[in-house]
Structure formats: structure tokens, C-alpha cells
Structure 1
């Protein structure tokens, strides 16, 4: 029986301080059979790139099985050749569907540290996307006994997707999966459910200009990123977004001896905590307690006042 892990976010708006700037080296990591793994996380995976704290990584991720597009009637010549190369050449494949760049080894990151991932920019890079749902899944399985899949063509200039003649969706791209490696004792973990190490959080607020914080469980952190979404509603109620290939830049910063219990995030205007649990109420409680902890740590509030502010 599959469990649905609920992500609840608790958001507070506060005025933050300026960040210190550090010298950075720029790396490039493009999706290829040698640089991706699909459908799982594992602390034993060998890194495909090694960087230092403060370095910038330019990413090109691949999302969209070309055989899936063929089955939906897309002529082979309209499907980007690189998708065939990545999907049919990848060797590290698990049970999940997410094709992930990495892992990236960050020098100096050790268990008990916190990894800051600054998402400097994200954009759509290919015009083809897919979306669908399968029977007996999602929020309303009783309403949709039959599945459906569709191809969407993206206007890269206008940054839109035409869903129907009178329904145009503005693109707001983000990576659905950002994760460090799980603790080694967990072994190989499917990429479907999110966890304390991040993963398939599908958090539509993690766009360019935002920052994600993750706890580190293994040396080097072993960061993986993928599952590109051109746009998504809050909740991803049918269990898919407008799935497509993305490009972007991240900057990674290691914070020593600052272990987190759950992922946290920061936007230009808000601080965000996340609660991951199969029970909706428990997820909400986790996210709220995380926000109280953050307010106490960050602003020196007592817990009573933090509770009222949250």
C-alpha cells in the first residue's frame, strides 16, 4: 500500500538582513546518461561533480520520457534527441520516475551540517511538456476511474502554455525534486515520497530568487536536482504538474554544525517551514513547530510569542 506524504508549509513574513558575498567558482552540469540517476536516492551513489561551498552550478535537467511522447502521437522528429539519449542511456535507474542531475559532492559538508541551496534562476529550456494522471490516485480517485495523459507545447518567448483555446497558463518554473542523500542506513530510497532530506517536495514557491535549506546526513551532502515543472497549482492534486526540462543556476553554501529536523526555505518576502507526514494534521503540526523553532533561533523570541506570530 502506498502512503501519500503531505507537505504543509508554514509561512511568516519578516525583514531579513543582507548576506555576505563569497568568491565563487562556476560549474556546469548537463543531463546525460553519465550525470543522472532516475527514481531513487542512495548515499552510496558516486558523485558526478565536486564543488566547494559558495560555488555556483549551472544546471540543465531533463524531464519527459520520449517514448511517452511517442505514445501520445508526437512525431519522433519533434521530440528533442537529448531526451532519447538521457532516458534510454541512464544506467542508475530505480522504481521512481524522476530523472535527477547529480549527486553533487560539496566539499566540507558533513553529517550535522546544514546545506543552503540558493536558487539563483530557473527557466524552461525545451518547448515540449507532459501532464497526466493514473486511475485510483490523486486527491479524487473516486471521481476519475480512468487515467489521462496529454502533451503540452510551451511558448518559450511568451512564457505560457496553452491549456485550451481560452485557457493560457503563465509559466512559473521550479524543480519538484531537490534533495541531499538520505542517511546511509536507509539504503536506496524511492524518489516518490519526500522526506527530511528533501526530495519530491513539489513546492511551487521554490522559484528563482528563493533559498532552500536541507540537513546533511552524509559526507559531501550528495545533492540531486530534477523533476522540472513549468507550472503547477498548489497541491498538485492530480499528482502531476506541467512536466518539462529546465535550466537554471544554484549556489551551495555549507553551514557547519547547524542540523535541521525538516527542510526550510526563504523567499524574498517570507520564511517557510515544511512538515512531511502521511497525516495532514501531523504535517501541519510539524511545519508549525518548525516555524516556532526558527523564530526562536532567528529572532530570539520566546516560544509563546513565536506561537502567536506564526
Structure 2
């Protein structure tokens, strides 16, 4: 396959600028400053054919210019996907709006500055794409900005559609699309060149020759194609026709034969044309004598047509076999630099905190209250509830957003829960629930629209934390939040919902279809076997919130479920579910935008939903904003890998954490020195988190919080987990790429973390025991 995805997650931080330089070079560009990848994250979908390269790219703010290609005349075509692109040339500075297309000369004094993020579609066409065809290639001395409309709009729309489908097109489909892009690109370039007053009459001649060549392309199958007919059709003399070909060092007869042979070469090498005989292909391109065709083909390409077709068929079979084998990468990636093995956990645990004595370390307590939570979103703009120092410990109370599924069991009598869930006809104590608009202008669900659902306590600012640092969060203890109601004092309850966002939702066997089911559990913190038992379940019925909005599905968090629901008892009868207490959400604030939906996890942590984040575990998070702004929420009593139905057993809990700040300057040689994702450490394992889109906010830009929900897959998440584990083994453990791949297959456990959080997750588990005897 000619499709080649790129993600910076494959590379160590020091290697990313060079890898990104290679991505730009594939489409004739290069960085014009020393820092080509400012935020450390970039993705690109790239597809190539002979002389054609199409790339959809996303990266941080940067400036790019031409990669000098003196022998190429066909300009680069570029379309910005988002606003913020500035073209700098001899004509001055010009802001290029979305929807405008830019034709960029291969040489010259110009550059493009992406002021916020680089998000663009780039098409590079070189003379190799013409297969001997003359295009009357015009020279553009300066960049040309083409507004939408007419022919340019057709070209731009095809570019955008092709860029979105790069990973789904078959090779044969892509080759057809690529050739169409070449033809449209050349035509637009000629139109632009002819309309430019400073180009002169040569552009007019080039445009005429291009039109003649297009006429020849359409009539190659006509054995009687002669110069006189073409000249007459164009309204010029035959002599002038030949002079046009002389300007590019050719003649009409040779050019027609070359184009016929090139077309036959393409069809003979295409597996989808295998049903056509060689004679049939020869006749289709104007060769009336198959023996003459065979001689001409052998003279031009060195092999008779039959041998050439057999050779190409064998090559295609071999390539297909390689692509289909498990564990065989299609292309060797550049060897990443290997670092020495890190020191033992106990000796590297604490940078900065090591210099604090026990008496200097402070303990803090953050109780839950309506004023101390943010519901359904993360934000770099939130004011911290408390500031702590590196090495301090803090106890954080958290509530499950599902307490409202059984208010009498999980809210009533609990002052903190009553404050957070308080909602009457006149007032909602925590109004915003989600990252959506406050006026509920999208679906009318309520403020924030439920675009994000988790009740998060915090944020907690860490003194001295700056972007580039790493925050280590050790989970010292997790305690279930006992019922405060005298009638049920000390008992603990939780809820699980088989909801519309669950993986199962379109797979029901029996009716009604579809349906949502809530199961209420009691949690037993039994020393012998901590477990959960189901008390009852009920099918979701339309609920009317205190503001009068009817919720026909489980679409908005914190709607207090009426006691009139029809409860089913004796569900999961006799089954005890072992507890795995953990926090589904541990996050620092993302840097990209102010309000970020709490559901899809990403590089900043968030809704990881990995049950390994329990007592005794540690998570390392890359700091993106001053103070880090740590938040905790989404407490779970138990969950299986996958979180199939949409939730775990959600249960309010209180956690105690030790927070350690690792400064950027002190990260060298640490397992988290090159951290761009949440890294989990337990007593026995390293757990790396892979996502369908490792940084969806950077990859998709302004549309990221909706795009990620439509584009996630386990395949993408598995690839990300593989890339991160390869990087970890090479850069932290010092293995070669071949060694890393061998070890992954033999000893690394990959598992589906969750398939319900918008940005699906796959984790990779590396046992520390593997390296006990390593040098």
C-alpha cells in the first residue's frame, strides 16, 4: 500500500524535528526556522504514487518554505484547513482564509506561517507523474492565491475529499484519484498562469500545448490520430502545432507513441486489469498490430508485454503477502536513540521532594462541595481550589456522577453530595455540566449540554509546575464514601449503566430495542473478599428534570431519577463481583482550549478508565499549563477491561495522593523523560496508554471534540499502544527496534482499556521482572 501514516508518538522527542522534516520534504516543503515542531505533537496522512504526493497534516505553529527543486516547474498546491495561515512573499504579508487554494513555486523567496497550528492539505506533483506526457509546464515566479469558485472549487473539493479518504482507498482507487488530481492541478495552474499579466506570451503557448495534450489523451485509442486533425480542432496550422512541441524538445508522433505505451504500461501493471488480454489493451491505445506493439513496448521498457505483466503480478502478490502478516512492519523506521536503563524505582522516585524532610511535607484535605467541583470538563482557565508543594500529600473527596441513579442511596443525608446535586425549579447548584454552550442551544439538554459528564474535584495547583515538567501522582489510599443517612449509615452503594454510548447498544438479541438499563449495587468492603452485589435494576424511563426538560435517554448527568421507576430484583443473583477500586479520571489541564469535554482521554490523562489506577499505583502526566491543575473524579468500585456497556460500577470515593513534581531540566535518564502520554506504574508493571488519537485536540483542531467521537477505532488505539511501547523499550530500556518488537510479541500484554470514551484506549503492560537480569 502507498498509504503511510505519521505520528510523532513513534519518535523520541529529540528525533521528532528530523522526522517531521522528512514529512515536509515529501511534499516539497521544509521548515524555515530551527524549531519546526513547537508543541511536540504532529500527525500526517500521506499517500504517494509516481510523482504524486498528497498529505493531510496537523502540527504545532511553525513556518515552512520551499525545498529547492531546481528541475521541477509544477507548483505545490496547498489548502489551509483552519484559519491562521499567513503567506509571506515579495508582495508582502497576506492572510489566507480557509477555502482559498495557494499555488506555491518550487523555488523563490516565500514562506507560510501557521500562527496557531499547522493544519493543511498539501499536493505535490512532479514531472514523474506525467509519464512522458507534456503539460506545457508553466513557471510561477510568485505564489498565487486562488479564491473558491468555479474550477478552483472543484479542484479544492476533490483535494479535501481525497485527503479524508487516504487510508480507505485501495491502491487501484488511489492511482485513479491521483491521476485526476494531476490533471486538475495542471489545468488550474495554466489558468492561473495565463491570467497573470507578468508571465508573458510563453504562458499562453504553454496553456495551448497543455490543451492539445489533453485532446491527445482523450483520443489515444484512435489509430488515425494525426497532427492535421488535432491542429484543425484547435484552429491552428499543423506547422504551428509542431513548433509547439519543439518548444519542449519533442515532436507530435513521438509524443503520441510515448503516451500510448505509458498507458499500456499502467494497465499491464494493474491487477484490476488482469482480465483484459494484451492485444485488447494494445488496441485500446491505438496499436492496430499486436506484434508491432510488442516490439515497441520491449524497446521502450526492456521487457515484452507478457513478461512485464507476469513480473508485476508476482510483485503485487509478494507485497500483499507481506502486508497481511502479523508483526511485519511495511517500512523500517529510523532507529531511535537508545538511553541507558533507568535507576531502580526507589532511587528515582522523587526529584525536588527528596530535598524536603518529612516535617516540611504538608498534608492537605479537599472536601467535596458544589464550589469545589467542575462537572464534565477540564479547563486551563479554572482557578485552583488549593495550591500544594511537590512532595505534599492530599486527600481528595470525589463523587460519582451516577449517584443520581439512586438518590435515596447515594445522595440523601450526605451534605457534600446534596450540595453538588442540588437542583430545584429555581436553582441548580452546579449549573454547567459539560463543555458545551451554557444556553443549551445544541440539544436543549441543559447548561454544558452533557458534553462531558464527570464530577471532578479540584483543580489542585502544584507550586512551580510549568509546561514541560512531569507530575507524578501516587495513589496512597482509596476509601469508599459511606452512606451518611442514619437509615443506611456506613453502607456503600454504586451504579452501572448499560447506556446508549455502550459498545453493545446496536447488538441486542431481545426487545425492546434499543434500551438502557441501570443496575444498582451494594459495595461490601469485606477483608476476605471485597465485592459488589446487585440490589436491583431498572430500564431507563423518560425523566423530567426540575427545569422541565424531558430526558428520554440517559443524555444529561445528574438528573435525579424518580423513585417510581420499575425495579427488577434478583438480578445477577448469587454473583459477587470482586472490587477493583480506582479513579477513572486523573487529569492535568490540557493546553489547547479553555473547555475540554471530560469524556475522551488524551495526553493529559483524563477519563482513562483503567482499573490498574488503584491503591499503590502511580501515574505520570506531562504538564501543559502553569500549576499543572490536577483534578480527580469518576471513582469506580469495579470495572473490566473494555468497560463494554458504557460505565463501570460507579461509586463515590475518597483518595489520598502524594504529588511529586519532576522539573524538565531533571528528566534525563528517567522512564518519563520523554513523556507525551499518561504512564502508569504499579509495583510489578509499567502500563502504557494508547489511544485512537493520542492528541485529538491537536490533530483535529477546532473540530476535535466532535471529530474524535466519529473516528475512533481499536485498530488505531492498538497502533498507538504499539508505537509507544516500542519507543519506551528503545529509549528507556535500550533495546534495538528488532529486540523491542520481539519482546512485545513474546512478553507484553496488550488489552482494550475502554471502547466507550470517544477516544478508545488500548493499554500495553510491561512486566518489570523481564529486566531483573538485564545489564
CA distance change for structure 1 residues 292 and 67 in 2, over 3 Å: closer, same or farther? Answer: closer
Greater strand share, structure number: 1
User: Unmatched 5+ residue regions in structure 2?
Assistant: 1-341, 423-428, 435-449, 483-491, 509-513, 535-571, 665-672, 693-711, 745-775
Corresponding residue number in structure 1 for 2:731:
297
CA distance change for structure 1 residues 226 and 75 in 2, over 3 Å: closer, same or farther? Answer: closer
Displacement of 1:197 in angstroms is 0.8
Instruction: Give the one of 28, 32, 55 matched to 2:369.
Output: 32
> Residues 112 and 215 of structure 1 are in contact (CA less than 8 Å); yes or no, is this contact kept in structure 2?
yes
Displacement of 1:284 in angstroms is 1.2
User: For residues 114-263 of structure 1, what are the structure 2 equivalents within 5 Å?
Assistant: 114-126=470-482, 127-135=492-500, 137-144=501-508, 145-157=514-526, 159-163=530-534, 164-183=572-591, 185-257=592-664, 258-263=673-678
CA distance change for structure 1 residues 75 and 138 in 2, over 3 Å: closer, same or farther? Answer: closer
Corresponding residue number in structure 2 for 1:110:
466
Displacement of 1:104 in angstroms is 0.7
The 3-state SS of whatever aligns with 2:742 is helix
1:85 correspondence with 2:419: yes
Corresponding residue number in structure 1 for 2:311:
none
Corresponding residue number in structure 1 for 2:8:
none
**Which is higher, the Rg of structure 1 or of structure 2?**
2
Higher relative contact order (CA 8 A, sep 6+): 1
The 3-state SS of whatever aligns with 2:628 is coil
> Residues 33 and 91 of structure 1 are in contact (CA less than 8 Å); yes or no, is this contact kept in structure 2?
no
Displacement of 1:15 in angstroms is 9.9
Displacement of 1:218 in angstroms is 0.4
Q: How many residue pairs are counted as aligned between the two chains?
A: 292
User: For residues 48-59 of structure 1, what are the structure 2 equivalents within 5 Å?
Assistant: 48-59=385-396
Q: Structure 2-normalised TM-score?
A: 0.36
CA separation in 1, counterparts of 2:410 and 2:638? 25
> Residues 173 and 231 of structure 1 are in contact (CA less than 8 Å); yes or no, is this contact kept in structure 2?
yes
Alignment deviations for residues 209-240 of structure 1 (CA, whole Å, 9 cap, x no partner): 11111111100111110001000111100011
CA separation in 2, counterparts of 1:66 and 1:198? 23
> Residues 216 and 259 of structure 1 are in contact (CA less than 8 Å); yes or no, is this contact kept in structure 2?
no
Corresponding residue number in structure 1 for 2:51:
none
> Residues 466 and 626 of structure 2 are in contact (CA less than 8 Å); yes or no, is this contact kept in structure 1?
yes
> Residues 113 and 259 of structure 1 are in contact (CA less than 8 Å); yes or no, is this contact kept in structure 2?
no
CA distance change for structure 1 residues 78 and 36 in 2, over 3 Å: closer, same or farther? Answer: closer
Q: Structure 1-normalised TM-score?
A: 0.87
User: For residues 258-277 of structure 1, what are the structure 2 equivalents within 5 Å?
Assistant: 258-277=673-692
The 3-state SS of whatever aligns with 2:370 is coil
CA separation in 1, counterparts of 2:729 and 2:578? 34
CA distance change for structure 1 residues 105 and 231 in 2, over 3 Å: closer, same or farther? Answer: same
CA separation in 2, counterparts of 1:222 and 1:297? 29
CA separation in 2, counterparts of 1:138 and 1:244? 19
Q: 252-261 vs 43-52, which deviates more? A: 252-261
CA distance change for structure 1 residues 53 and 173 in 2, over 3 Å: closer, same or farther? Answer: same
1:287 correspondence with 2:721: yes
Displacement of 1:133 in angstroms is 2.0
Alignment deviations for residues 103-126 of structure 1 (CA, whole Å, 9 cap, x no partner): 111111111111111111212223
CA separation in 2, counterparts of 1:115 and 1:268? 18
Alignment deviations for residues 154-202 of structure 1 (CA, whole Å, 9 cap, x no partner): 223453211333101121100001111011x322111011111111110
Greater helix share, structure number: 2
1:18 correspondence with 2:346: yes
CA distance change for structure 1 residues 76 and 178 in 2, over 3 Å: closer, same or farther? Answer: closer
Displacement of 1:93 in angstroms is 3.3
Displacement of 1:281 in angstroms is 1.6
CA distance change for structure 1 residues 66 and 199 in 2, over 3 Å: closer, same or farther? Answer: closer
> Residues 130 and 149 of structure 1 are in contact (CA less than 8 Å); yes or no, is this contact kept in structure 2?
yes
Displacement of 1:300 in angstroms is 2.4
> Residues 214 and 263 of structure 1 are in contact (CA less than 8 Å); yes or no, is this contact kept in structure 2?
yes
CA separation in 1, counterparts of 2:411 and 2:743? 55
Alignment deviations for residues 230-283 of structure 1 (CA, whole Å, 9 cap, x no partner): 001111000111101111211111222245221111111111111111121221
CA separation in 2, counterparts of 1:93 and 1:307? 44
> Residues 131 and 240 of structure 1 are in contact (CA less than 8 Å); yes or no, is this contact kept in structure 2?
yes
Displacement of 1:298 in angstroms is 2.4
Corresponding residue number in structure 2 for 1:10:
none
